[in-house]
Homo-oligomer: A and B are copies of this chain.
Amino acid sequence: MLGGMEDQVTRILKQWAAERPDLDVSPMAVVGRISRTARKIDAVLAATFARHDVDSASFDVLATLRRSGKPFTLSPRELTESAMVTSAAIAQRLNRLEERHLVTRAPDAKDGRGKQVTLTPAGLDLVNRALPDHVETEHALLAGLSKEERGQLSELLAKVEQAATETRP
């Protein structure tokens, strides 16, 4: 434990050590920090998106369509699988995006149940303009980490993510 920082996570651990010395609460240091870091990152990214008049959820949909390549079309099902939310949430996001004329919904000729969601020129323009700003924000967040450290961080998180996926009830 280098750099004896007395931050929030450290303080919580000390409290538990005093109150429940029978429990090994050391995992809280890592798990708690993942959660806290993610929330702070969300706030920073949201500020960037706000400068481009979108929220994170809307940008997520627009970016998913954008990176799928021409003709920038995906089904609500595919968008649901990409985002980590329910199909109902995607339907509501699409309602908002359609209302703002950033995407269109058309019937799928090959599947009578399906729809085809496509970026409008305005939607494409928005995501193209916001993307460099967004990427720059993410660069700033990681500016303090070397290339090697970023790789380490990714791999360590991947292990935890896999454990979380397998622990599913």
Residues of A within 8 A of B (CB): 1-3, 5, 7-9, 12, 15-16, 18-20, 23-31, 33-45, 47, 66-69, 82, 84, 131-132, 135, 137-145, 149-165, 167-169
Q: Smallest distance from the beta carbon of A169 to chain B beta carbons, Å?
A: 5
Q: CB distance B138 to A169 under 8 Å?
A: no
Q: CB distance B164 to A40 under 8 Å?
A: yes
Once A135-B25, A163-B140 are accepted as A-B contacts, the answer to whether A158 and B33 lie under 8 Å apart by CB is: yes
The interface residues of chain A, by DSSP majority, are classed as helix
- Pick 6 A–B contacts, CB within 8 A, sort by A: A34-B157, A35-B41, A44-B164, A141-B164, A149-B159, A153-B160
A30 to B151, CA, bound (A): 8
Closest to A165 in B: B40
